[in-house]
Amino acid sequence: MSIEDDVALLERVPTLKLLGAASLRMLAIGSELRNYGHGDVLFNAGDDADAGFVVQRGSFRIDDGISAEIIAGPATLIGELALVVVMKRPSTAVALDNSTVLRIPRSLFARVLESDPAAARRLRDEFATRTSQIASDILMAGAKLST
């Protein structure tokens, strides 16, 4: 695939689309294409998380061992939080078929945000909105449980 194809894929990811074309191009140029066969492990719960992955082709089962499994298909960002914070993987991701991902290292993502402060602000605002919504949802659930 070409850089333009990779940029087009990244534009389909809602969180990454916020960064804008120039930043997406830098991510596409610096990311690494990786192939996985059926049953191959993308990462295991407890692994150090130093990158996010955008599914280009195929699909992955994401399982944290507690809640329902999630299936991640094309244009899905796996490990979003690992792009911005040092952490351990909370789940395991396994390829369900022959699959390809773009691996975006946290160090690359940080350089892109440093070079584009407006993109960094848009991403911060998106995370703040999500956090506020989650807090509101928790309060509402707590109120329902206490009645």
The rounded percent of the chain whose pLDDT value lies above 90 is 73
Query: Is residue 60, in this structure, part of any structural domain at all?
Result: yes
User: Cα dihedral sign for 71, 75, 79, 80?
Assistant: negative
Measured between alpha carbons, how far is 54 from 72 in angstroms, rounded to an integer? 9
CATH number of the domain where residue 93 is located: 2.60.120.10
Position 83 in a domain: yes
- The verdict on residue 75 lying in a domain is yes
pLDDT digits (tens, 9 = 90+) for 26-68: 999 999 999 999 999 999 999 999 999 999 999 999 998 887 7
Nearest-10 crossing angle of helices 117-146, 106-115: 120
Please provide the size of the chain in residues: 147
Is 90 within the bounds of a domain? Answer: yes
Residue 143 domain flag: no
Could you tell me the pLDDT band of residue 116, with boundaries at 50, 70 and 90?
Answer: very high
pTM as predicted:
0.86
| SS3 label, residue 35 | strand
Average pLDDT in the chain: 91
- 138 within domain boundaries: no
Distance CA 42, CA 94 (A): 6
Q: Which structural domain, as residue segments, surrounds residue 78?
A: 3-116
Residue 86 belongs to some domain of the structure: yes
